[in-house]
Amino acid sequence: MKKWIPIAIFFFLLLQTKLFAGNPKEPSASDPNIIQSWIDSADYYQGVEPQKALSFYRKIIRYDRDNGTQRFNAEYQLAGDFFYTYNNVDSTLKYADMAMKTARAVNDSVKMAGVYNLLGTVKLQSGNLEESLKLLKQAEGIFLKENDLEALAVVYMNLGNVYSTQNKFSDAVDYYNQSRKLYVELGDKNGEVACLSNLVIIYIQFGQYKIAHKYQQEVYNFYKNSDFIPEILTAYTNLGVVHFYLENYDSALVYFNEVLNMSKETGNRHLYSNVLNNIAETYLKLGNLKEAREKAQKSYTLCIEEKDIYGQASALKNLGMIAQKVGDTEKALDYLKQSLPLAKEARAVMELRDIYSALSGIYKQNGDYQTALDMYEAYVDLNESLHEDEVLFRMEELQREFERQKSRMELLEKTSDIRRAKQIRNMLIIIVVFMIIITVILAIINRMRRNYLKTLKQKNQVIEKEHALVVRHQDHLSMINKILRHDLANNNTAVMSAVKLYKRQKDEEFLDAIIQKAKSSLELIERMKQLEKITASSGILKPVNIPEIVKRVRLKYPAIEWHIQGQGTAYANEALLSVIDNLIENSATHGEATRIDISIQAIRIHDQPFVEIRVADNGSGISDTIKNRIFDEEFSFGPRARTGLGLYIVKKNIELYQGQIEVEDNSPSGTVMILKIPECPPDRSVNP
């Protein structure tokens, strides 16, 4: 069956329509709110006469030299209109470039991300997949940072479309599911259904028809009572295809006939011709060869008019298989031979596989075993990775045919007279040669199979290793993100407090405090950025000099009395600084500690070398009732509690280092945090 399954790519433009009682009157240049009037006019015409809206957007661009927001909206709207409405790529790129310059001028990353997404969609349609992927990834990064879920859902959908076009179906499914999840959270049923439509296509391709049927039924239920004709046609067509592969042929015919009638009414000749061919193949499965031939012949005629190479190949293939069914092998061979070059030109892999298989059977039936083998070798090349057992079965079938021919020749040799002895000897020679050829072919195929299995095993091992590394990197990057959010939140809280105090007291010391916290935030961002790069390229952990880390943290708390003793080097990373800083921050802020004692010493746990870091304070301590909960995510306590992430982040980092963390009371008051981290051998280089 020709896989005519429209990929539902939903492009989301911010088109707001305002309905007025009458047509708006174009304002004059003397009106005080001229820009707003033009905006209102553009909004109105966008919904009723898009062509008129274009002129108002152009006026906004020419007139609005100061307000970057309005100018950007007009430029971006024009770019989208020319792409989605008029399919004018040159004008789209022109206004997208203007919108990008405006977004950069006002330093608005979200606006820039919107343009990246639009340009990525344009590149996808034009077939420049690498550039499309690059642009969409840029948009994804910005929208993730801004937590713009609606925009992210659109970008994920477009990324899924890129990967699907690249035949990277695993990545496509991942992005479609991410997009679908966001649309569910946003309550956007249109977006959710679009994702389901794309997933249906992939699940059909991989033979997971039950899942495809479940999703497509949801799509169908959503669109069946709507006025969206293209979406309804897509839903009916996909349901027909799913029912076909589930062998529910009567149900498939119902859906295909519905599409046939609707496509005829709407004048969609391309869809009409292809659905005719789907119906022909369904009738072929049901054994109604007369109807199958009629539909396939009509589909073929229409596909010629439409210059649809794929459709012609599929229709001819079906005509060939129908002729083969009725026993007209000569006509079947003619149809299939016509279909073969067309299928190659259209790169119709599934059709080619069926054609090669059918030709192999016909040539075998005609006794042309060499050509049968040639056709089957082509079939094997297309189907080898998925159907090895089927390949071996067909070769065994040819071998059995050879054995039957050999037995027949032996019987003839026993029963024929002397006058045919020479003919029999010659036939036996031919048979022996044929057997040698078959044996060689089987040996080659067996060797190829072993090599393939060996290669597959090696690739699986590589994939497993890469997956493990990716999981480690993802875990650590997630931790970096939490550290960044937590520490920036603390700095911002301090800045807000200093601003309030400055407003009250007008003391410039608070301004210095604000500057210091801002610098601290920038340093933190840069540190996490560097850590992320190191993580991605070097396996995360490295030797870290603990006293150097402690000294850097100490500079942030000049009011605290410090006592530091001992030396040690741990396998950790830059996040260890944040770990120590979080512990001191808790002591100073929540425990109101004025003294910190830090001791560093080497210990052994189960015969493995570790470094123990004891961080003791003289603060108010931690109640026994909450000690077992202080490392839980988002747990906070007391009037000065904030996000509750500090000690959770500490614990997760220590676990990443394969270490341990404990808490106990200090004497006479305060708390002792005990960190145990694997020690770095002394011969390894150390980076603070």
Per-residue pLDDT reduced to its tens digit, 207-236:
777 888 888 888 878 877 776 677 777 777
621 close to 675: Cβ distance less than 8 angstroms: no
pLDDT value at position 3? 42
Q: Higher pLDDT residue, 688 or 164?
A: 164
Confidence of residue 85 (pLDDT cuts 50, 70, 90): low
pLDDT value at position 26? 43
Termini Cα distance of the chain: 64
Task: Give the C-alpha separation, 231 to 504, whole Å.
Answer: 62
pLDDT of 65 over the 60 cut: no
Q: Is the peptide bond before 668 cis (omega within 30 degrees of 0)?
A: yes
- Which of 198-207, 322-331, 455-464 bottoms out in mean pLDDT, i.e. has the lowest? 198-207
Please state, in angstroms and as integers, the Cα–Cα distance from residue 528 to each residue in 258, 525, 545, 551, following that order: 58, 5, 18, 19
Q: Higher pLDDT residue, 583 or 92?
A: 583
Q: Higher pLDDT residue, 261 or 672?
A: 672
pLDDT value at position 47? 56
Q: Residue 27 has what DSSP assignment?
A: P
Tell me the residue type at 282: T
- Which of 59-68, 537-546, 599-608, 645-654 bottoms out in mean pLDDT, i.e. has the lowest? 59-68
Query: Could you give the residue ranges of the DSSP H alpha helices within 306-420?
Result: 309-325, 329-346, 349-365, 369-383, 388-415
Q: Tell me the pLDDT of the chain averaged across its residues.
A: 78
564 close to 587: Cβ distance less than 8 angstroms: no
Q: What is the mean pLDDT of residues 490-510?
A: 85
Cross-strand partners of 256: none
Q: What is the mean pLDDT of residues 432-453?
A: 88
pLDDT of 634 over the 80 cut: no
Q: What is the mean pLDDT of residues 433-451?
A: 88
Q: What is the mean pLDDT of residues 550-564?
A: 92
pLDDT digits (tens, 9 = 90+) for 27-63: 444 444 665 666 666 665 555 556 666 666 666 665 6
3-state secondary structure 394-435: HHHHHHHHHHHHHHHHHHHHHHCCHHHHHHHHHHHHHHHHHH
- Which of 46-50, 199-203, 256-260 bottoms out in mean pLDDT, i.e. has the lowest? 46-50
CA angle 562, 568, 574 (to 5 degrees): 80
Confidence of residue 389 (pLDDT cuts 50, 70, 90): very low
Name the percent of the chain lying above pLDDT 70. 75
pLDDT value at position 241? 82
Q: What is the mean pLDDT of residues 428-432?
A: 87
Name the percent of the chain lying above pLDDT 90. 16
452 close to 384: Cβ distance less than 8 angstroms: yes
Cross-strand partners of 140: none
pLDDT of 248 over the 60 cut: yes
Instruction: Among 102-106, 143-147, 214-218, name the most confident range.
Output: 143-147
pLDDT of 596 over the 90 cut: yes
**H or E segment at 525?**
helix 508-538
Cross-strand partners of 614: 599, 674
Q: What is the mean pLDDT of residues 353-363?
A: 88
pLDDT digits (tens, 9 = 90+) for 464-485: 867 766 776 777 677 778 777 7
pLDDT value at position 537? 44
Confidence of residue 620 (pLDDT cuts 50, 70, 90): confident
pLDDT value at position 684? 53
169 close to 205: Cβ distance less than 8 angstroms: yes
Q: Residue 679 has what DSSP assignment?
A: B
pLDDT of 563 over the 90 cut: yes
Q: What is the mean pLDDT of residues 140-149?
A: 90
What sign does the dihedral 153-158-159-163 (CA atoms) show?
positive
**What is the Cα Rg of the chain in Å?**
36
Q: What is the mean pLDDT of residues 593-598?
A: 94
pLDDT of 21 over the 60 cut: no
Indicate the Cα dihedral angle 44, 47, 52, 57, nearest 10°.
70
* Number of CB atoms found within 10 A of residue 157's CB: 27
pTM, whole model, 2 decimals? Answer: 0.43
